[in-house]
Amino acid sequence: MSSEDRLDPATPAPEAPLADRPASWPVHGSRDLHRDDWIVALREDVVARPGHPDDRFRRLSLEHPGAVVVLAVDDDERVLCLRQYRHTNRQDFVELPAGLRDAGDEPSVETAMRELREEAELAATSWQLLLATYASAGITEEVHEIFLARGLSEASRGDFEMHAEEAEMEVFWVPMAELLDAVLDGRVRQGPLAQAVLAYDVLKRRGGLDAT
């Protein structure tokens, strides 16, 4: 390679595959802003740039075990949706069945199966991980694992009891094409739902969905 090629911005240098990478900057102190018997807690850290110990700044970290989200699609290309009140935003959001990964080392797909059964009284014979995304990387370690569930059938939620906002939750079916339009039009804005629907649409066009 000539020196001209090396300097030409149109000639990219060899790089590792595009990916996030682990890193850890020095932490010079931490304190809990809120912590109780729940699994979610708020912590404040004093962080410094690597090699610059005097350049310190404070960052909030929301400790969170992560969550699963279920895109349940039936044989008629309808999606099982929920409408649930979220106090922080004072809105009834259109959402998908979802739940915290609060059962210790339970595999995420089993958590997804449990949430689909408890919230929608459905079971599925086919499960595929569509995406795993950070909810808001600047403030929380929460990861959303989004699953596609197909081969649906009715299933009892057993002795699970709905409470608080869940007790008022509405369950309904929406054609996939209509839900995709609602996402693209900005009428439905809940993040994991939008990610799930867009990923499904892309993978379906690319032939990347598992056969049921």
pLDDT tens digits, residue range 180-191? 999 999 999 999
Which residues are designated catalytic?
A: 166
Residue-wise pLDDT for 15-62, tens only, equals 779 999 999 999 999 999 999 998 999 999 999 999 999 999 999 999
**Bridge partners, 92 (sequence order):** 85
pLDDT value at residue 86: 93
139 shares its domain with 109: yes
- Do the domain assignments include residue 13? no
CA distance linking residue 20 with residue 15, whole number of Å: 13
Backbone angles phi, psi at 43, to 5 degrees: -125, 145
What lies within 8 Å, CB to CB, of 31 at 6+ separation is 43, 44
Label residue 104 by pLDDT band (50, 70, 90).
confident
The model's pTM is: 0.88
Strands 27-34 and 41-49: antiparallel
- Do the domain assignments include residue 131? yes
Identity of the residue numbered 80:
L
The pLDDT > 90 percentage for the chain reads: 81
pLDDT value at residue 124: 98
Tell me the residue range of the domain where 43 lies.
24-63
**Numbers of helices and strands, H then E, in the chain:** 4, 10
82 shares its domain with 130: yes
pLDDT value at residue 182: 98
pLDDT value at residue 158: 82
Kindly tell me if the per-residue pLDDT of 8 is higher than 90.
Answer: no
Q: Side-chain half-sphere of 140: how many Cα atoms within 13 Å?
A: 16
107 shares its domain with 90: yes
Quote the mean pLDDT of the chain.
92
73 shares its domain with 51: no
Cβ–Cβ under 8 Å, residues 146 and 199 = yes
- Do the domain assignments include residue 211? no
What lies within 8 Å, CB to CB, of 18 at 6+ separation is none
83 shares its domain with 54: no
